[in-house]
Amino acid sequence: MAIPYMSSVRILVGTRKGAFILTSDGKREQWEISGPHFAGWEIYHLKGSPAQPDRLYASQCSGWFGQVIQRSEDGGRTWEAVGNDFTYEGVPGTHKWYDGTQHPWEFKRVWHLEPSPDDPDTVYAGAEDAALFKTVDGGLTWRELPGLRGAKGELWQPGAGGMGLHTILLDPHQPQRIFVAISAAGVFRTDDSGENWKPVNRGLKSPFELPDPDAEVGHCVHRIAMHASRPDVLFMQKHWDVMRTDDAGGSWQEVSGNLPSDFGFPIQVHASEPETIYVVPIKSDSEHFPPEGKLRVYRSRTGGNEWEALTSGLPQRDCYVNVLRDAMSADTLDPCGVYFGTTGGQVYASADSGDTWAPIVRDLPAVLSVEAQTLP
């Protein structure tokens, strides 16, 4: 087994009231906590550049002051606001509203930031109302990739939390291929760097929300995940059901198996085991808390269907927190570290692939996002 102690780990945590940065050496036993950065602001997401790990980007949002993108060059010690003009290309038109009527597209906030794997100045931003933006100058200017909304955007309809583009997966083997997921429209794929898009939702079933069993769009996808070594294999946590595709979204199969509930938000793939995946089931779409008040992460080592409850170190009574879609991540050390944050302000860490857990910190504001960086 590799000895990880020369490396270190940085956990980037976005919350309802600011950002926090948690750091540890490779043992992952003692943690330093920095923050709150941007105290009082909602930080929907922050993420580092794989090509330049001390280059961080953060999505800062406020009902009073709107959206601000922040950039750091020194691992989060100092920040500067960069470009903040997110304008839909052309005449945006309309999309479905909650009541089925048509509603104009309106930019509200950035839900997710996805830096390029090889260029620290290139970042994709997923917005609400659902759209994909791109910068190639480190966030100074942003341009929409409007072809995405051409994939039946007039039929997209917001979920309970809004119509946000919340997941962006960049295929490391085919740079021109990108997957995105939108609540409550579904998964979409481009094979030409964002010019043209198509829905890839065949096999998804949404009987409660969507009466058409063959609908191409309208599925409430909560999160999708990919292992870099197998970009054609995606895992999905849907509004109900955990799903899997082995053909880049061409068709999906349910792999919920023996989970106590197949409703949840996050899904995460182990860094070095492409068939090992993690979910956090909650009771239902109306009761956003763990079944029986027991906080359990479920792990499958078989790519789904067979699941085991991971409970060591997690509260097994009177626990009624939720884990949101962007609030789970993994490092690339050996053994793999897994991290998640809750709406109760706890951030839990496992340094042994989920076998045992311990809280890094307990009393943050509600956690919106968690990203792990493995540093040399």
Angle at the Cα of 347 from the Cα atoms of 341 and 349, rounded to 5 degrees: 110
Which run of H or of E encompasses 293?
A: none
pLDDT digits (tens, 9 = 90+) for 247-266: 999 999 999 999 999 999 99
Quick one: pLDDT at residue 3?
46
- Let me know: does 75 contact 135? Beta carbons within 8 Å: no
Phi, psi of 197 (to 5 degrees): -135, 155
Closest CA to 374 of 101, 48, 73, 31: 48
pLDDT confidence of residue 4: 45
Q: Which two tokens stand for residue 104?
A: 């104009």
Q: Report how far residue 318's alpha carbon sits from residue 216's, in angstroms, rounded to the nearest whole number.
A: 40
The Cβ-side half-sphere exposure at 305, using a 13 Å CA radius, reads 6
- Taking alpha carbons only, the member of 118, 115, 159, 166 closest to residue 138 is 115
Q: Mind listing the pLDDT tens digit for each residue in 128-149?
A: 999 999 999 999 999 999 999 9
How many Å apart are CA 183 and CA 164, to the nearest integer?
6
Half-sphere exposure of 250 (CA within 13 A, CB side): 6
C-alpha to C-alpha distances, 176 to 59, 116, 169, 191, nearest whole angstrom: 25, 12, 11, 5
The whole-angstrom separation of Cα 72 and Cα 10 is: 14
The residues near 274 (Cβ < 8 Å, ≥ 6 apart) are 227, 229, 230, 233, 303
Total number of residues shown for the chain: 376
The mean pLDDT value for 54-59 works out to: 98
Asked if residue 65 has pLDDT above 70, the reply is yes
Contacts 24+ apart (CB under 8 A), 49-53: 49/115, 49/116, 49/120, 49/123, 50/115, 50/116, 50/117, 50/118, 51/115, 51/116, 51/117, 51/118, 51/119, 51/120, 52/120, 53/10, 53/373, 53/375
What's the rounded mean pLDDT across residues 85-91? 95
Predicted TM-score (pTM) of the model is: 0.96
Q: How many CA atoms lie within 13 A of 147 on its CB side?
A: 16
Contact in structure between 191 and 176 (CB atoms under 8 Å):
yes
pLDDT value at position 22? 98
Express each pLDDT in 257-311 by its tens digit.
Answer: 999 999 999 999 999 999 999 999 999 988 999 999 999 999 999 999 999 999 9
pLDDT per position as a tens digit, 5-34: 579 999 999 999 999 999 999 999 999 999
Give the per-residue pLDDT at 5. 58
**What is the average per-residue pLDDT within 30-57?**
97
- What confidence category does residue 364 fall into, taking pLDDT thresholds of 50, 70 and 90? very high
Q: Rounded distance, CA 56 to CA 39, Å?
A: 17
Q: Distance between CA atoms of 75 and 71, rounded to whole angstroms?
A: 10
Question: What is the Cα gyration radius of the chain?
Answer: 19
pLDDT in tens, 208-233: 777 787 889 999 999 999 999 999 99
As a whole number of angstroms, the distance between CA 143 and CA 148 comes to 13
Structure tokens at 293: 């008040």
User: Is the CB of residue 223 less than 8 Å from the CB of residue 265?
Assistant: yes
- Position of tokens 């964002």? 194
Q: Which of 207, 125, 206, 127 has its CA nearest to residue 162?
A: 127
For residues 117 and 46, give the distance between their C-alpha atoms in angstroms, rounded to a whole number.
15
